[in-house]
Structure 1
Amino acid sequence: MSEKRSCTPDDKFDGSKPSVIERGGTLQGFVEGYNVPYIIGSETDDRYNFGAADTELVQRKLKQRHIQMIAIAGTIGTGLFLGSGRAISGAGPLGALISYALVGTVAYATLCSVGEMASLAPISGAFVHYAARWVDPALGFALGWMYFYGQAITIPVEITASQILITYWDTSEAHAIGYTVVICIAVCLSNVLGVQYFGESEFIFAIIKLTLITGLLIAGLIIDLGGGPNHDRIGFRYWNNPGALARAGLVDNIATDRFIAIVATFVQAAFSFQGVELVAIAASETRNPRRNIAKAVRRVFWRIVVFYILGIIMSGMLVPYNDVLLLNGSNTAAASPYVIAIQRAGIKALPSVINAAIFTAALSAGNSYLFCSSRILHGLAVRGQAPRFLLYTTKAGLPIVAVFASCLFAPLAFMNLSAGSTTVFNWFVSLATVGGFFCWASINLTYVRFWQGHRAQGIDRTLLPYHSRLQPWLAIWGFCWTIIFILVNGFTVFFPEQWNLSNFLTAYINLPIFAALYIGYKVMKRTRFWRASEMDFLRGIPCLEETEEPEHPPKNLGEKIFNAVF
């Protein structure tokens, strides 16, 4: 016996277990023509809450323009504006370009993978739940907690970056505490007020960041071509002298030493890209998530090319890699290649404007990381992998307890005000970045299993709102490179003159932490690796009619422009 059901707005999946029927029955309604075979569920499946009605807990209040701008610029922070200078000083303009381009392909592969899975299941927990649902519940547990702490400890990193940027105007140490307090309150308040306020603030921040990036690229090109007040035409002068590739200074062989310098910049480049997965985390609170996620993912490729690749090329043309201002360790706009070039070109007013825009970028990144950590924590609670009190949401659908729990990490920013705690604080940066590699690796691994599950069950994934024709090769590419990044991110500590126990621990401590989380949960819960033929693509996933509103064609020129931009 087999049967078919059609999902309608009144026929919502509330988490109840589907009746056990013969394989071959299908459920329609996720996407027109997208038929999902019924899975003959076992009683043990219910331990992982795959059918949890999490869509009832949070509300979809992020609009189309919010999610598009979050996808384009949501997590762009100091890593792009100031990190590019550090990458150039470490590997040279060509070395930095190679590093950013390689990490960019991995980031794009990861976003394509998570975007396709989110287009099927825009639910709480996002890729953490996907890992539990399509790979192994133990992987979801380990990934969720590692991602939570990685995002949570990045909140004070960006708050501190914001406070340091203020020192460009006010160097008083007495005022630093006050600035840090105000920034902490602003970041937390943006999330506590509700997702709509988070969306509006990120929309405004994104516009500022995009305006800044565009303006810097144009200003950089003008200065490079000799259009500044000093009329000095730079061209590719610095690619010839001191050169396109810098040395790491670790081995005598020039070629090997330059290669080491490039590899050493991978972590710096990755810090600039991390957070691209935010669009999937926000899916459970986005209106028309399937349609908007598809749009967002398709446009991210151009974001990477224009903002990151063109940006690093322009930065490498404006200053030599051995410039003393790049090497002075400043974390304000004074260390930006653009500001250095602007000042030397004789332009006096712009550096302060740039520093102010970078300040908003750091504030925005801290805002986004707090959002990510709170939603992942709430998603873990939905699946029974975190304390139940974190499930609580307000009437407006805000997971307020999870938000407050994430806000508790913000005061760690005060550690950087103490000279003795600065080293510990710097560990946070490395731990968060390496933890991000584990996230990317898990997302791509999960997608490979997702692809295998569709193939084994005869489901046509090309009928999803978003899919990539380059899959599963994109996911395989992303997975392999992130594993390499994890292994080589701290390799320089193995050179005798570079050995440092604290650097070694921050580079590799995440390996035993992740293993302990995975093995511990697997032993306690006796989970197993899901077979492709038994993966659940049905329970707890809202159908198309539950999430998507009718799309109305633009009526005038203004609406056409709006749809093209957002």
Structure 2
Amino acid sequence: MQHRQEKRQDERSSAPPHIKPTLLDNPILPEIIDFGSRYAFVKYDEPSNAHLDQGGIERGVPGTRSNHQSVPSEIDKGETEQRNVGTLRRRLKSRHVQFLALSGAIGTGLFVGAGQVLSLAGPLSAVLAYSITGLNLYAVINSMGEMATWLPLPGAVPVYASRFVDEALGFTLGWNYWYQFAIDVPIEISAAALITVLYVLIFVINTLPVRVYGEVEFFLGSIKLTTIAGLMLLMLIITLGGTPTHDRVGFRFWVHPGPMNEYLKTGSLGRFLAFWKVFIQATFSYGGSEMVVVAAGETENPRRNIPKAVRRVFWRIAIFYVGSVFLVGLCVSSRDPRLLNAIDAGDSGAGASPFVIAIVNGGISVLPSIINAVIVTSALSAGNSFFYASTRILYATALDGKAPRILCYEKFGVPYACVAVTAALSLLVYLNVSASSAEVFFWISNLSSVSTLIVWSSLSITYIRFYRELKYHGVPRSSLPFKSPFQPFMAWFDLIFSSTVAFFNGFDAFFPGHFSAKSFIPPYIDIPIFACLFLGYKIVKRTKFVKIEEMDLWSGKEEADQLECEWEEPKPRHFLERIWFWVA
């Protein structure tokens, strides 16, 4: 017995020291299998006859091959880790991430875009559209959160697609996601009417270390959240008649002109078409909300902070979006002359904000100017967040070998080459000089919304493959750093919903007398672009759909496992700290 124990100890000591189990809760000792590729996988010995199928035939342990080869060297493994993890620094603290999750993407899409939704569809349709789209976002961000806590890599969305689906999808998703976030920057700035000032501020902030970005977003996010909470309270006061006009509005505008408007057709069909049409604008309002997961690669203790942020997205959707749209729909009629005139005049700033119109209708003279200033700061915050997310997505795409190598250049934890490329595309903001801001807002927001839906669909496909890979390897969901609820049903819901809205969002172009370049190109141009990128890369590089036994779950995970041990769970010392830790 003693001789046998000594022999086991000698065998353990001779094992490669840099390979260790990645599932800390699994008591079964792993064996490292090299596939003859650039990745090392972990094989777990299965007890009893688990390796036999129902007919008693050996099926092999998932994720392994019969020809065991040598374990990769330290140099090869280091290069793989460097390529997947990059050299960006984890400087975003818990409070930065929590406020990014709560308010990072809240900008003109809510403050101004809600007015367009209200005028087109009516108050009830607006609430339903924001609720259903919010549920869809919740499904997406939970799927992303589960993958990002398993492998918290910088902007790793394209990396996940390459590993779990197809290299061509990783290439396409990386460039499409970058383009989506990059064009969101001019949307926010063009609506703010302070083009050069905001553009320069956003550019400068993103050339500084990521912690500066985190502090700026923390400050601006605090202003946004305080303002939204105040606006919701004010909308309630206006509804109850607490303004100088003492006009008790109640549900007056839900009775006349009614809760649901008609579009193109009359009756129930017309109301449904109006309801369907505003899904694309609701998607634009929510677009970019998942950027908190994109920041996982620069977040301290991502396996604690990312799940915490993801769980709070539900409350942000329910309170700040759905709650705000419901209350402002009580205070402003969908046929309000001020709202319709502002939209027809091409105003995409505070003048078209239903919140400002409600305040003006209530006879309050000072607040509109204050709200206008808040909309400007919100545009700065949202544009800044979109700029940050686009640079990290592009950096991850370059790290994965699907963008020019020069884009991997970084210093002080800032990918300066990606910042320069994103800044160049963001110059689209100056289109606002020669055209009405509402026209620019419509074109680019439509492009961004469709791109968002395509990206969300692709992410759900990626997650479904990730989910199946975990099951194939026998990884229990209880061992995951973050287990998203109702999976894989939530991923399937998003895949079906996002794909359907993306393909049918431009339905009105096919109605008699409505076909034009404006009604057809913005809703559909993204679909052939996505298809051309995917098929072009697949044909040129001759990529293949990744088989489940060849998927890579492990590269980059060991680095995350090691870092997880370095961060201690903060413990509140008194009641105030307990409250603060709950908030941030």
TM > 0.5: yes
Distance apart, 1:19 and its partner CA: 8.3
Distance apart, 1:98 and its partner CA: 1.2
2:255 to 213, 216, 240: 240
Cα 1:537–1:25 shift into 2, 3 Å: farther
Distance apart, 1:38 and its partner CA: 6.6
Segment of structure 1 superposing worse, 355-364 or 52-61 = 52-61
Gaps spanning 5+ residues in structure 1: where?
27-35, 164-178
Aligned to 1:377: 394
Gaps spanning 5+ residues in structure 2: where?
1-10, 24-31, 47-60
Segment of structure 1 superposing worse, 371-380 or 408-417 = 408-417
The separation in 2 between residues aligned to 1:381 and 1:42, in whole angstroms, is 30
The separation in 2 between residues aligned to 1:293 and 1:275, in whole angstroms, is 16
Cα offsets for 1:442-474 (capped at 9, x unmatched): 111111111111111101133222112311111
Aligned to 1:503: 519
1:273 to 286, 289, 308: 286
SS in structure 1 at match of 2:117: helix
SS in structure 2 at match of 1:512: helix
Contact 2:117 2:281 in 1 (8 A): yes
Aligned to 1:287: 300
What amino acid is aligned across from residue 351 of structure 1 in structure 2? P
Q: Does 1:73 align with 2:89?
A: no
Cα 1:149–1:20 shift into 2, 3 Å: closer
Contact 1:25 1:37 in 2 (8 A): no
Q: Does 1:564 align with 2:582?
A: yes
Cα offsets for 1:341-382 (capped at 9, x unmatched): 211222111111111111111111110111111111111110
Distance apart, 1:419 and its partner CA: 3.1
Cα 1:424–1:213 shift into 2, 3 Å: closer
TM-score normalised by structure 2 residue count: 0.86
Aligned to 1:327: 340
Distance apart, 1:421 and its partner CA: 9.9
SS in structure 2 at match of 1:419: coil
Aligned to 1:259: 272
User: 1:124-523 counterparts in 2 under 5 A?
Assistant: 124-163=154-193, 179-248=194-263, 250-251=264-265, 253-328=266-341, 329=343, 330-394=347-411, 396-419=412-435, 426-523=442-539
What amino acid is aligned across from residue 316 of structure 1 in structure 2? G
1:527 to 543, 561, 573: 543
TM-score normalised by structure 1 residue count: 0.89
Aligned to 2:44: 24
SS in structure 2 at match of 1:139: helix
Distance apart, 1:496 and its partner CA: 1.6
What amino acid is aligned across from residue 536 of structure 2 in structure 1? G
The separation in 1 between residues aligned to 2:338 and 2:184, in whole angstroms, is 26
The separation in 2 between residues aligned to 1:53 and 1:550, in whole angstroms, is 27
Aligned to 1:94: 124
Contact 2:85 2:154 in 1 (8 A): yes
Q: How many residues align?
A: 532
Aligned to 1:107: 137
Aligned to 1:31: none
Aligned to 1:169: none
The separation in 1 between residues aligned to 2:102 and 2:200, in whole angstroms, is 26
What amino acid is aligned across from residue 222 of structure 2 in structure 1? I
Higher relative contact order (CA 8 A, sep 6+): 1
Aligned to 2:146: 116
Distance apart, 1:304 and its partner CA: 0.4
SS in structure 1 at match of 2:569: coil
The separation in 2 between residues aligned to 1:147 and 1:24, in whole angstroms, is 36
Cα 1:422–1:325 shift into 2, 3 Å: closer
The separation in 1 between residues aligned to 2:42 and 2:352, in whole angstroms, is 65
Distance apart, 1:423 and its partner CA: 5.2
The separation in 2 between residues aligned to 1:116 and 1:20, in whole angstroms, is 22
Cα 1:239–1:290 shift into 2, 3 Å: same
The separation in 2 between residues aligned to 1:560 and 1:294, in whole angstroms, is 18
Contact 1:7 1:543 in 2 (8 A): no
Contact 1:415 1:422 in 2 (8 A): no
The separation in 1 between residues aligned to 2:173 and 2:274, in whole angstroms, is 30
Contact 1:112 1:468 in 2 (8 A): yes
Contact 1:377 1:402 in 2 (8 A): yes
The separation in 2 between residues aligned to 1:269 and 1:421, in whole angstroms, is 19
Cα 1:128–1:224 shift into 2, 3 Å: same
SS in structure 2 at match of 1:122: coil
Distance apart, 1:331 and its partner CA: 1.7
Distance apart, 1:420 and its partner CA: 8.8
What amino acid is aligned across from residue 482 of structure 2 in structure 1? Y
SS in structure 1 at match of 2:513: helix
What amino acid is aligned across from residue 24 of structure 1 in structure 2? Y
SS in structure 1 at match of 2:495: helix
Contact 1:225 1:235 in 2 (8 A): yes
Cα 1:91–1:301 shift into 2, 3 Å: same
What amino acid is aligned across from residue 555 of structure 1 in structure 2? R
Q: Percent identity?
A: 42
The separation in 2 between residues aligned to 1:19 and 1:263, in whole angstroms, is 46
SS in structure 1 at match of 2:20: strand
Aligned-CA RMSD value: 2.7
The separation in 1 between residues aligned to 2:441 and 2:250, in whole angstroms, is 39
The separation in 1 between residues aligned to 2:508 and 2:498, in whole angstroms, is 18
What amino acid is aligned across from residue 582 of structure 2 in structure 1? A
Distance apart, 1:129 and its partner CA: 1.0
Cα 1:386–1:561 shift into 2, 3 Å: same
